[in-house]
Chains A and B, each alone.
Chain A
Amino acid sequence: MLHAPCTRLRRAAIVAIACICGWFVMELEMLGGRILTPYFGSAVYVVMGSVIGVFLLSLSGGYVLGGWLSRKPYSEISLGGGLAIAGAWLALTPWLIAPVCDGLLNLGLDDKWGSLIAALALFALPTVILGTVSPTVVRWLTAEASESGRNAGIVLGLSTVASFAGCIVTAFYLVLLSARLTLRVSGLILFLVGCAIIVVGLRHRRLRSWEGGAEAGKGRTP
């Protein structure tokens, strides 16, 4: 994708990746509050404060990491692999909740430190990975420096609208369903998105090397 010409379809697909990940960030954040409440209580500002804080910190780390990774030639593989790992993590999270939260409470931690560390343990990894998406896809969309601002605007704008939708739909409706099932289904979707990016990335890489080889061959033809 990195060096492939950006067709309309490819641009749409890249922006869609950013939107899907934007949705999952807020879905996970709202579910996070829902998941931690039975362990750390409904002192609203404590549990939600911990969750929101951890998400902001994780996203900031993800942005920096994503920007760094976007300069690498293997950025499709790193992003797709990352999203597959994040998806697998989400799908496995239902089994981690009780041991992590009970473990922290048994250590004698209170609702503040307990919920903060639990949110870090359960949600930091997938959120860091989701944070790497925006800078990477901005790079994919950008062929010329003069385009970078516009592309960043489109990616941030649309993915944040998707975050809004994920936030509202989760808070109003998905919380009525099983939290574990929601996590598993979301994890599976994210895993598949990650795998799809890897597959497309590898195909482009092969195409490029084949084209490169043909060009080189042509050059040698007398």
Chain B
Amino acid sequence: MNSRHVSRSFAPRLAAALLPALTLTLLTAGAAGAALNPQRVIYQKDSLYHRIFVFQDGDIVTLRFGRRDGPLTQSQISLSEPSRHLLEYSQLMFCGLLHCPAPRRALILGLGGGMIPREMRRYFPEAEIDVAEIDPEVAEVARRFFDFKTDARLNVHVSDGRMFIRRQLRRQPAPKYDIVLLDAFNSDYIPFHLMTKEFLEEVRGVLADDGVVVANVFYTNALFDAELATFLAVFGRTQAYYGATSVNAMLVAPGPRGQVLKPDEAAAIARALQEKHRFSFDLEAVARRLRPDVRPAPGTKILTDDRAPVNWLKEQKSNLPAP
């Protein structure tokens, strides 16, 4: 501190007087910091749907909805290395490529910080990418703080995801997507109408025959079991990629002419794709997270527009064993 500006004789006495107080202050500050969050809020906005928080901690910018110290990080970027995947889930979402290695058309529900469409664009410069994001403020935040850019073939549609898909279905002919990524999270749960049988049937309507649907879910609660059962009811075949360090899991369902994979097949495809695209993460490590034959417990109820107690299921434990 500025002790050199204090006279010599006075300094020890001052230090003796200040030391306990200083220690106490540092201790409490440390405790509070650990409890709250040491990160600096650089942007905060109440949108129609969320309380949006953007933090910066040195090189790392973080997007969070709901509570400042909430448990759910939506998106994270390293400003010096934007392609570095700081969160496991954004790597896992690329598992769809194992089932559909050369997507020409992708649909992403839920923008967040825009990492998935940005990286998708990086590896597939020709692909046509549609993003449906309900909250215009989130789109603005992604552009401003997370290095997200739209282009002629990468569009953000400010719309409810289900409304967007229904609009696409009404177009003649309805567009068919090779990859559909379901990643529309609220501050604490997935909106119920984006998890039901009827919704997934609409998704199936915009899915190419050899395409793949990937849904980001948490495997620890009973909503995972219900969503898995719903996927199986609609798509027939469903596999899962479990996170290693996070509780995220990807439910993956191929279209009627698409592929389900055995673990060694997935790893071989991953190696070939890694060779070709030089991903900033290890796709083979993602492939190794495949659980090919995951099934819900018998009697698990599927989610429908009529009955979808998502908030209740979220609080119940999953019946499936953790990987």
Contact = CB atoms under 8 A, between A and B. Distances in A.
B196 interface: yes
Given A178-B306, A179-B307, A44 B49 contact: yes
Given A37-B193, A43-B134, A106-B170, A180 B163 contact: no
Contact of B160 (A43, A178, A180, A181): A43
Nearest to A47: B160
Give the size range of B's interface with the partner: 20 to 34
B162 interface: yes
A38 interface: yes
A213 B125 CA distance: 93
B162 A41 contact: yes
A179 B160 contact: no
A21 B159 CA distance: 36
Contacts of B198: 38
Contacts of A44: 48-49
A111 B193 CA distance: 15
B305 A38 contact: yes
A148 interface: no
Interface in B152-204: 159-160, 162-163, 166, 170, 191-193, 196, 198-199
A176 B312 contact: yes
Interface string A190-210: 000000000000000000000
A95 interface: no
A111 B309 CA distance: 24
A129 to B, nearest CB: 24
Nearest to A105: B166
Contact of A38 (B49, B170, B199, B312): B199
Contacts of A39: 166
Given A41-B160, A45-B48, A111-B163, A176 B309 contact: yes
Interface of A: 37-45, 94, 105-106, 111, 175-181
Given A37-B193, A38-B196, A43-B160, 9 more contacts: A37-B192, A38-B162, A41-B162, A44-B48, A105-B166, A105-B170, A175-B309, A177-B309, A178-B306
